[in-house]
Copies of this chain bind each other. A is one copy, B any other.
């Protein structure tokens, strides 16, 4: 890697790029996956259970639809909801999101099911999490992109949409270390969202996936359960979390939190879809967090991923183009190129053996109208691989910019 790419000219850069291409790299910065060293932090989850009994009942058998109480406590800690308002599920909060959308779509609880409505729309702060948008597509939910401000979505533009569109049933929020922009929602914006959700009767899908995932000193996230109670809007919040980026990415526990009233409505639907979650894995998690507290454990994660984010910042700073975030937690750096270059940069990188998240993937319907956003996910590889990947990235950024000029 060079000390700087700021003064480099196009001819030199083309040579550098061809040189990188010839090295036959195969690197992948597409997904926010933990590295093996992070997974190893939870190695004791693998210890055999001394007992299969939890509160007198055998966890290997059926039962406990909403999850073991101690596991619901873990969800409570992540979501700042009372444990009684938490469902501890299987390994995936995405599945719980699907089950909640299914519930509103098919059953509706006390309200008209979405499948009986002519049009259902969601506000989608963008760029955002591609899986949220994919879920909406599957349910034929119309997606309306809304810009983010760094402290949450732009309330002004949300108000404008709500004034003219009565089909809004929900909004996707990643309130802490947003994927990919790193937004941490402010109290003020959260309160305004709650107020609007109550007034226009829509639901806030509060995906607090990175609630405990700081690697630098970070602002607090609003306690949405408390805020919603203060203005009697608690039925307008459905909150999600999981241990996917705390213990095992594929074998953790997912959680959903909701008001008691919503849980009463949802419970019979949920009971039709599953007899009980995997309580063996839940008990493993309970035992695990009895031995180590969440904060200490997350500090170990932070120590492993902080250097990766530092390296991204350092390498991106070696070149003069675009803007990018410097998150204090989460799994992503969001890079904004000059308009019209994102796809080109991603393609150049691909040819040099570096896979990046497809340009546009972080927008509803995969359309980034500016063609500007690139999501960088630096955690999955080791430091050496990351350095190689970032070298390719900055060369491609410079090349795309210089070729254009």
A47 to B47, CA, bound (A): 8
Within 8 Å of chain B (Cβ to Cβ): is A319?
no
Q: CB-nearest residue of chain B relative to A107?
A: B138
A64 to B31, CA, bound (A): 14
Among the listed B48, B61, B269, which residue makes an inter-chain contact with A250, where contact means beta carbons less than 8 Å apart?
B61
Within 8 Å of chain B (Cβ to Cβ): is A240?
no
Question: Chain A interface (Cβ within 8 Å of chain B)?
Answer: 31, 33-34, 36, 39, 42, 46-49, 52, 58-64, 90-92, 94-95, 98, 102, 105-107, 115, 131, 134-135, 137-140, 244, 248-251, 269, 271-281
Q: CB-nearest residue of chain B relative to A253?
A: B278
Residues of B within 8 A of A94 (CB): 273-275
Contact of A48 with B49 at beta-carbon distance under 8 Å, contacts A39-B58, A98-B273, A278-B250 already known: no
Of all A-B residue pairs in the complex, the 9 with the closest CB atoms, nearest first, are A251-B280, A98-B273, A60-B248, A138-B272, A91-B278, A115-B115, A39-B60, A251-B278, A46-B48
Residues of B within 8 A of A115 (CB): 106, 115
B274 touching A98, Cβ below 8 Å: yes
Taking the closest CB of chain B, its distance from the CB of A260, in whole angstroms, is: 21
Residues of B within 8 A of A272 (CB): 98, 131, 134-135, 137-138
Taking the closest CB of chain B, its distance from the CB of A254, in whole angstroms, is: 10
Residues of B within 8 A of A91 (CB): 90, 276-278
Residues of B within 8 A of A278 (CB): 90-91, 250-251, 278, 281
Which residue among A39, A60, A95, A251 has the maximum number of chain B CB atoms within 10 Å of its CB? Answer: A60
Which residue among A36, A95, A138, A250 has the maximum number of chain B CB atoms within 10 Å of its CB? Answer: A250
